[in-house]
Amino acid sequence: MKRILWIIPLIFLLTAAGSAFISSGCPAATGGSNAAGPQDYRQGNNQDYGTDLDINYEYDYLAPYGDWVNMDPYGYVWVPRHMGYRWRPYSDGHWVWTDYGWTWMDNSEWGWMPFHYGRWNMDNDIGWYWVPGTTWGPAWVTWRSNDMYMGWAPLPPGVELRAGMDFASLRIDVPGSFWIFIGGSHFMDRDIHSYVIPYERNVTIVYNTTIYNNFGFRGNRFYNDGVGMDRVRRFTGRDAPRYTIQDARQPGRDRIAGRDVQIYRPSFK
């Protein structure tokens, strides 16, 4: 009889633990400290793009492409699969100039989410991981450049950007290995991955480049003008065509259609 009495609470405990995961096998985001991390970088500018979705959609959508790992202090973070040892965020795709400034178009099917929402960070054990976010942006990166190189790096978690900040003097501590540098003449190429300089050379290049935090808000829209069109023109000898961002009807790879860039950018509630 005593054995039965302690087995019953154990069954309830195991049932409760199982409810912490949604049906796709990834963590539920319904509350608690592990729901979606501290989210200090959620700007909360009441963006209203496309479809309204619950934050759980981020967990469901990315589950087939990577693993959700519980990591303090962020809660569950996403680790993409099969990226390779030398892969870095914002390295396999290309840049286009839009009404939101420099906009990253990744080559991956899932790139519309982790390169336009949230933040990236690096861990020695699990590699690159993505911390979920709800605010859309053309690219959450900071920039460096000199007369030879163009470079950018993902903004790490905890970097809060909000309207009214003095972005020009904003100090952002980005590890040297985060930076992606290419020769400036290749900045507008469609195959940037082929020209990315090995990160072992980053220490020297970072020391000889200037930071550009040329981003901010126009109304409730975050824009990222990066190093500016004048510098790009000096490197490439031409102006970048200007595109208008249009909301895609369904998730998938960002694509160009005429003078528009179609990106799926739901509003996460």
Q: Quick: pLDDT tens for 10-68.
A: 343 334 333 333 333 445 443 333 344 434 444 444 455 667 888 899 999 999 999 99
Mean pLDDT of 118-130: 95
Please state, rounded to an integer, the average pLDDT across all residues of the chain.
82
pLDDT score of 79 more than 70:
yes
pLDDT score of 82 more than 80:
yes
**Tokens standing for 230?**
């004048």
pLDDT score of 167 more than 70:
no
Mean pLDDT of 112-140: 95
pLDDT digits (tens, 9 = 90+) for 181-229: 999 999 999 989 999 999 999 999 999 999 988 888 877 788 999 898 9
DSSP codes, 174-210: --GGG-EEEEGGGTT-S-GGGGPPPGGGHHHHHHTSE
Beta partners for 130?
A: 78, 120
What per-residue confidence (pLDDT) applies to 108?
Answer: 95
Calpha distance 89→71 (Å, rounded):
19
Amino acid 154 reads P
What per-residue confidence (pLDDT) applies to 49?
Answer: 60
Calpha distance 94→59 (Å, rounded):
26
Calpha distance 199→205 (Å, rounded):
10
> b or e along 137-156 (b: 16 or more beta carbons within 10 Å of the residue's beta carbon)?
bbbbbbbbbeeebbbbbbbb
